[in-house]
Amino acid sequence: MRLHLYLSASQSIPFDYLPALKSAFHRWTGHNEALHTGLSLYSYSWLHGGRAGRGGIRFAEGASWFISAPDDTLIHELVGGVVRAPTLDLCLTVRDVRMQRSPEFAAGEQPFRVASPVFIKHEVEKGKPADHLPPGHELADELLTATLRHKLRQAGLDDVGAAVRFDPAHIATAKSKLFQYKQVQCRGSICPVLVSGSAAQIQFAWEVGVGHSTGIGCGALV
């Protein structure tokens, strides 16, 4: 299921707004410790509808944002949380919400665009900073697939046959996106992906996203 949120912004917001989204998510879910510390079986997009300027982003016509999860109960908890506390940090306020049922996918291979950068971490040597892999790297698709399969198993679902890869037709034109989460500099990629597997596996990917760090706003699919 997917929850679409429409927000107003009374002022320009900083580029590194992701902690404000994560804070709102956990506040609305009641600071569920399992959601905070466990594997992120959910995903959410970045804010859309803004125009970047000097020192921040302005949302003159408002912002749109979505949160997805295979757990319908979680989505309903979020709605209840929004009703109780519609104001986020950075002077953002939710003015409307809409729920969307997950589409019915067919088994096979399904193309998706991304609503937030796909982030892939690869630890080359323990104790040293991880590499952030771009589309076209020899390990990128392997790690995308491994992450999706790990989440499927964590959710008690069959992972056999599930796979994710960057769409080869778009790798040459993929955009690199440098972003900061708190004090950590990260590099993700804006590049469509192809998800293959059963209908249930593809739906799961649509809900939980792809790659690492979907719990801080990476790898959301549309």
For the domain with range 2-100, which CATH number is right: 1.10.10.10, 3.40.50.410, 3.40.980.10, 3.30.70.1890? 3.30.70.1890
**Cα dihedral across residues 66, 70, 71, 72: positive or negative:** positive
Rounded-to-integer distance, Cα 194 and Cα 145, Å: 11
> How many whole angstroms separate alpha carbon 202 and alpha carbon 200?
6
What are the 10-residue block averages of pLDDT along the chain, 222 residues in total? 96 94 94 73 97 93 97 96 96 97 97 98 83 96 98 97 98 95 90 98 98 96 98
pLDDT for position 19: 94
Tokens of 123: 């630890």
pLDDT at 181: 86
Pick the CATH number of 108-216 from 3.40.50.80, 3.30.70.1900, 2.60.40.10, 2.60.120.10: 3.30.70.1900
Q: What is the pLDDT of residue 128?
A: 79
Residue extents of the structural domains in the chain:
2-100, 108-216
pLDDT at 37: 65
Nearest to 46 by CA among 26, 64, 23: 64
DSSP per-residue letters across 81-98: HHHH--B-STTEEEEEEE
**The pLDDT value given to residue 161:** 98
What's the whole-model pTM score?
Answer: 0.95
pLDDT on residue 36: 63
User: What is the dihedral sign for C-alpha 114, 117, 122, 127?
Assistant: negative
Cα–Cα distance between 90 and 153 in angstroms, integer? 37
